[in-house]
Amino acid sequence: MKFKNGSSLRGEITVPGDKSISHRAVMFGALAYGQTNIENFLTGEDCLSTISCFRQMGVDIQLHGKQVTVVGKGFSGLQEPKTVLDVGNSGTTTRLLLGILAGSPFHACIIGDESIAKRPMDRVTIPLRKMGAQIDGREHGTFTPISIRGGNLNAIHHQSKVASAQVKSAILLAGLQANGITTVEEPYKSRDHTERMLKAFGVHIEENGCSVSIKGGQSLTATNIYVPGDISSAAFFLVAGAIVPNSQITLRNVGINPTRTGIIEVLKEMGASLTIEEKGNAFEPMADLTIETSSLVGTEISGEIIPRLIDEIPIIALLATQAEGTTVIKDAAELKVKETNRIDTVVQELKKLGANIEATDDGMIIKGKTPLKGGTTVSSHGDHRIGMMLAIASFICHESIFLENAEAINVSYPSFFEHLHLLATT
Ligand code: S3P
C-alpha cells in the first residue's frame, strides 16, 4: 500500500463498532437464554473469530451486515467443539473464552496465529486452575495451543498484578459458574464493558473502586445491544485531524466510556482543538467528536491513565512527534505483550520516518516537533494498530511511504482505507 502525502483530511465519518463490546455481545448472547439482537457489530477479523468459535460450540449466530442475532441456551447449552477453536489474532477471544470454558464439562483446544502464540495466557490459566479448571498447553499453559476441560468451580479472590480487562472478564465469567462470590482486584481500573454488559443481561455485580465481585449461579437473559463506535479506531482520525495541516474531522457516535477516554484527556492536555457533543445510549455513553489541526505541546503519560489509553499509544507516539517539547510515556510495559511488542515496533518504524523517539523499559520518550521524511518502506509487523498509525503518518511525511502488511488492519477496522480516502482532499 502506497500513500501520497500532502492531502488535508476534512469531513465526517462513523467509525465501526467497538471491538471489545462486539466480542462481549456475541459471547454473552451465547450464554444468555433467548435471542440477543446486536446492532452496529464490528465485522473485523477478531470479532468474526469469536463468532466462529461459538458456532463451533453449537450456538446459532446469524450475521447480516452489521446486525447479529445470537440464540443462547445458557452456559449449559454450549456443546463440545469437534475441532480446535481458532481465535486468529484475538487476545480478547482467547482469554474470555478460557473463562467461559473453565466451567464447561467438556474438552476444548484453543489455537491462534503466530502473534497469539507469543502472548502470555498464564495470567488467566493460573487463576482458572485455582478455581478448578483442568488446563494444559505449551509451556504448562502459558501459551497457545491450550487445551481445557472445565468442571465444578470454586470462587476465588484474585489480586491481578496487571490492570487488564481480559483477565478481569475471564475470571468474572468463570465466577458466574462458581460456588460462592468471586472477586477480582486490579492495581488500576481497566475497561468495564463486561460489568456494564452483564448488568444489561440481568446479572448483579458489585463494584468498589478497582474491585469487582460476582456471585456464582446467576443466569443471563437475552437483550438488545447497540454497539457504539470504537474510540480506539476513532483515535487514528482524532490524531490525524490534529496533526495534518488544514484538517477538520467529525466522528459520529463514538463510545466515550470513561474507562476508555484517556486519548481525549491526552489530546486536550497537549492542546488539541477538540469538541465533544454527548449523546445517550442505554448502557455505554456516546458522543460526536470534532477535531481540527492544532498546535501541540508534549506531556507526560503515566499511572492510572495507561489502561484507559493502552491501545492508543502507537498513535499517541505519532502525535507526540508533532508536539513541541518532550513527551514521556511510562508505566506501559503491557505494550510489550500486545499484538506485537509495541514499544519496539512503534520506535523502530517511527525512527525510519525520522522521528526523535527512544524506547525505555516501560514506554518511550519522544522529542518534537520533528518533520517526518518518508521515502521509505515501513511495516505493520502484522499489527493492525501499527499499520493504521503508519498510514496516518504518511499524510505528514515529505515523501511517500510504502506500507508492508497493510492488510493487518482488517483485524479491527476493515473500512479504514475507505474512510481515509473519503476524508482526503488535495
Ligand atoms: C481488551 C482489553 C485490553 C485491550 C484489548 C481489548 C478487552 O487488553 O488492550 O485490545 O476487550 O478486554 P488487556 O485486558 O490485556 O489490557
Tell me, using a 6 A CB cutoff, whether residue 165 lines ligand 1: yes
Query: Is residue 347 located within the same domain as residue 244?
Result: yes
pLDDT of residue 345: 98
Each residue's pLDDT tens digit, 250-274? 999 999 999 999 999 999 999 999 9
307 C-alpha to ligand 1 centroid (Å): 9
Residues 75 and 105 in one domain: yes
Which protein residue has the closest C-alpha to ligand 1 atom 9? 311
Q: Per-residue pLDDT averaged across 332-356, rounded?
A: 98
Same domain, 12 and 24: no
pTM greater than 0.85: yes
CA of 373 to the centre of ligand 1 (A): 33
Ligand 1 centroid–CA 18 distance in Å is 12
CA gap 103, 133 in Å, rounded = 7
The reply to whether 205 and 252 lie within a common domain is: no
Domain containing 161: what range?
A: 19-226
pLDDT band of residue 276 (cuts 50, 70, 90) is very high
Does residue 296 share a domain with residue 359? yes
| E strand segments, 294-374 | 300-301, 325-329, 356-360, 363-368
- Please work out whether the CB of residue 310 comes within 6 Å of at least one atom of ligand 1: yes
Number of H helices, E strands in the chain: 13, 27
Cα-based torsion angle of the residue sequence 201, 175, 309, 265 in order, rounded to the nearest 10 degrees:
60
Determine whether the shortest distance from the Cβ of 311 to ligand 1 is under 6 A.
yes
List binding-site positions for phosphoenolpyruvate. Answer: 19, 91, 119, 166, 342, 385
Q: Is 164 in the pocket of ligand 1 (CB under 6 A)?
A: yes
| Residue 281 and residue 147 share a domain | no
Of the three residues 198, 226, 254, the one that is the final residue of a domain is 226
Same domain, 11 and 56: no
Q: Residue 178 forms beta bridges with which residues?
A: 153
Q: How confident is the model at residue 129 (pLDDT cuts 50, 70, 90)?
A: very high
Active site residues: 311
pLDDT digits (tens, 9 = 90+) for 43-97: 999 999 999 999 999 999 999 999 999 999 999 999 999 999 999 999 999 999 9
Strands (E), 337-406: 356-360, 363-368, 377-379, 401-404
Pair (187, 294) in one structural domain = no
Q: What percentage of the chain reaches a pLDDT higher than 90?
A: 97
Same domain, 11 and 72: no
DSSP helix/strand/coil, 231: helix
- Report the residue among 164, 167, 184, 331 best suited for mutation to probe ligand 1: largest number of ligand atoms under 8 A from its CB: 164
Residue nearest to ligand 1 atom 16, measured at CA:
164
CATH number of 55's domain: 3.65.10.10
Looking at the fold, whether 233 and 334 belong to one and the same domain comes out as yes
For residues 294-303, average pLDDT? 98
- Which of 226, 254, 289 is a domain's end point? 226
Domain count, the chain: 2
Q: What is the band of 222 on the pLDDT scale with cuts at 50, 70, 90?
A: very high
State residue 425's pLDDT score.
Answer: 78
**Residue from 116, 166, 172, 196 whose mutation best tests the ligand 1 pocket (most atoms within 8 A of CB):** 166
Separation of CA 372 and ligand 1 centre (Å): 30
Say what the pLDDT of residue 2 is. Answer: 57
Q: Are residues 65 and 39 in the same domain?
A: yes
Q: Which atom of ligand 1 is nearest to the CA of 23?
A: 11
pLDDT in tens, 147-203: 999 999 999 999 999 999 999 999 999 999 999 999 999 999 999 999 999 999 999
Give the model's pLDDT for residue 280.
78
Is there a single domain that holds both residue 303 and residue 161? no
Q: Which of 226, 260, 288 is the last residue of a domain?
A: 226
